[in-house]
Amino acid sequence: MAKIVIIGTQWGDEGKGKIVDLLTPYFDNIARYQGGHNAGHTVCVKGTQFILHLIPTGILHPGKKCIIGNGVAVDPQALIKEMDELKREHIDFSRRFFVSDRAHMIMPYHLLADQQAEKKMGQRKIGTTGRGIGPAYIDKMARTGLRMGDLLEPDKLAEQLKVNLTVVGNVRHFAEIYPQYLEYAQKLIPYITDASLLLNQAMDKGESVLFEGAQGTMLDIDHGTYPYVTSSSACAGGACTGLGIGPTRIDGSLGVVKAYTTRVGNGPFPSELHGAEGEALRNKGAEFGATTGRARRCGWFDAVVVRYAVQINDIKSLAVTKLDVLDGYDKIKLCVGYELNGKRIDYFPANIKQVEDCQPIYEEMPGWRCSTKGITDYNRLPEATRFYLKRIGELTGAEISLISTGPERDETIFCSGTLLDGWLNRIVG
């Protein structure tokens, strides 16, 4: 039974939510391994839109086991709120939803620290969502963090909380925060478990797992456009450390890629479209954050970025999303390389200053004037669209296995005979 990781290949918001939701029926377990409630995965089911921030998208499918791994930073209040909202939609959590006892908790002082740090940074601010996720990871690395498992031990929780509040000069808030977290404990204890053990035992029994990544490769703490990144490991490797499983248990990575490029917040973006062109793409693609409502910066497809993501995640299979958003363009551009200091390069530099200086080198191709919205058969795509997809495959070195032509589950093309077909045991034909 397959174990595959779903990875964003750009700066997040690639449409991972829809892809995970679409593939969930083929898997027994859906596991989140990093990030926090800064993620916003949007899934449309028969006209109803669900936005999931912390809980794996698989929860929308009855009977599927959903796991939040140790690599996720959990704000208990946000988790309870999201659970309550889903329960109101009659989503059942009992005996199929689990949170790792090793996952670090976001505390109220993390939120404050996040917001204050962004203010102090001024021009150089990262553009975080201000939800305390970065500071929670800082405490994890400083070995002063509080974990979900601490909710099971109120005395230990009290002791460490007092120390932490003293350090941040906020000890008078103990009387407020401690009872609040005891209350969260009451609600969350039934779900807290050793998630690594649970998952490894499930795999030993032959169960399949879909590892659900949040954000994207270019936002990864190590491999992204540092310092304009998120504070966790959004790449494939994060699935191992963020869930406590060995790398050889994973069969492969499916990269989710938008047919163009977007990014939220600050940081370099070589193929960005500015002014009216950027705004037109933003409006066509409804590129506004699911979590924050922030307008996303938009630009042409950047093959250098995606090739880099293919390399560091060993992506063999790609799911191309939002293809329909490119309908109606006379000409479409693909960034195939960069010019840096008068020289052509085809790799993504580590040095942020160099990335800022990179000028995109474009290949221009004819667009398609007709609609691809909702097409489910590859052969019914216009010739120019098929050419565009073929070029994406060639330039990135990965096979295109899935194509999304609209937000709904059924607005999808499953390309037959692909590696993904094999992983899903689909009948090819």
In the complex, minimum distance from the CB of residue 36 to ligand GDP, in angstroms, rounded to a whole number: 13
In the complex, minimum distance from the CB of residue 20 to ligand GDP, in angstroms, rounded to a whole number: 8
Cβ neighbours for 242, distance < 8 A, ≥ 6 positions apart: 32, 33, 34, 69, 70, 71, 72, 232, 233
Distance in angstroms (rounded) separating the CA atoms of residues 342 and 321: 34
Options 10, 42, 128, 271; binder of ligand GDP; rule CB under 6 A: 42
407 binds ligand GDP (CB under 6 A): yes
129 binds ligand GDP (CB under 6 A): no
Name the residue nearer to ligand GDP (CB basis): 202 or 381.
Answer: 381
Name the residue nearer to ligand GDP (CB basis): 40 or 242.
Answer: 40
Name the residue nearer to ligand GDP (CB basis): 150 or 324.
Answer: 324
C-alpha 285, offset from chain centre: 18
Active site residues: 13, 41
In the complex, minimum distance from the CB of residue 190 to ligand GDP, in angstroms, rounded to a whole number: 28
Strands (E), 198-296: 209-212, 252-258, 261-263
35 binds ligand GDP (CB under 6 A): no
Distance in angstroms (rounded) separating the CA atoms of residues 296 and 294: 6
Options 13, 82, 114, 212; binder of ligand GDP; rule CB under 6 A: 13
Query: Considering Cα of 131, then 137, then 139, then 140, what sign does the dihedral take?
Result: positive
Options 21, 113, 406, 413; binder of ligand GDP; rule CB under 6 A: 406
44 binds ligand GDP (CB under 6 A): yes
Q: In which order are the strands placed within the sheet that holds 315-321?
A: 192-193, 97-100, 65-68, 29-32, 209-212, 3-8, 252-258, 315-321, 399-404, 412-414
In the complex, minimum distance from the CB of residue 397 to ligand GDP, in angstroms, rounded to a whole number: 22
- Pairing state of beta strands 3-8 and 252-258? parallel
Tokens at residue 171, please? 């000890």
3 binds ligand GDP (CB under 6 A): no
Distance in angstroms (rounded) separating the CA atoms of residues 226 and 228: 5
How many CA within 13 A on the CB side of residue 177? 22
Residue 26 has what DSSP assignment?
Answer: G
Distance in angstroms (rounded) separating the CA atoms of residues 67 and 50: 18
Options 35, 36, 40, 145; binder of ligand GDP; rule CB under 6 A: 40
Options 4, 6, 7, 17; binder of ligand GDP; rule CB under 6 A: 17
In the complex, minimum distance from the CB of residue 324 to ligand GDP, in angstroms, rounded to a whole number: 5
3-state SS, 172-192, equals HHHHHHHHHHHHHHHHHHHHE
Distance in angstroms (rounded) separating the CA atoms of residues 208 and 315: 19
Helix, strand or coil, per DSSP, at residue 137: helix
Residues 293-352 that bind ligand GDP (CB under 6 A): 321-322, 324-325
Using the contact rule CB under 6 A, the part of the chain among 39-47, 62-70, 104-112, 189-197 near ligand GDP is 39-47
Using the contact rule CB under 6 A, the part of the chain among 126-134, 227-235, 351-359, 401-409 near ligand GDP is 401-409
Q: Which residues pair with 159 in a beta bridge?
A: none
Residues 206-265 that bind ligand GDP (CB under 6 A): none
Using the contact rule CB under 6 A, the part of the chain among 12-20, 22-30, 174-182, 345-353 near ligand GDP is 12-20
14 binds ligand GDP (CB under 6 A): yes
In the complex, minimum distance from the CB of residue 285 to ligand GDP, in angstroms, rounded to a whole number: 7
Contacts with ligand GDP: how many residues (CB under 6 A)? 21
Residues 347-386 that bind ligand GDP (CB under 6 A): none
Cβ neighbours for 307, distance < 8 A, ≥ 6 positions apart: 346, 395, 396, 397
In the complex, minimum distance from the CB of residue 373 to ligand GDP, in angstroms, rounded to a whole number: 7
Name the residue nearer to ligand GDP (CB basis): 15 or 132.
Answer: 15
Per CB under 6 A, residues contacting ligand GDP are: 8, 12-18, 40-42, 44, 290, 321-322, 324-325, 404-407
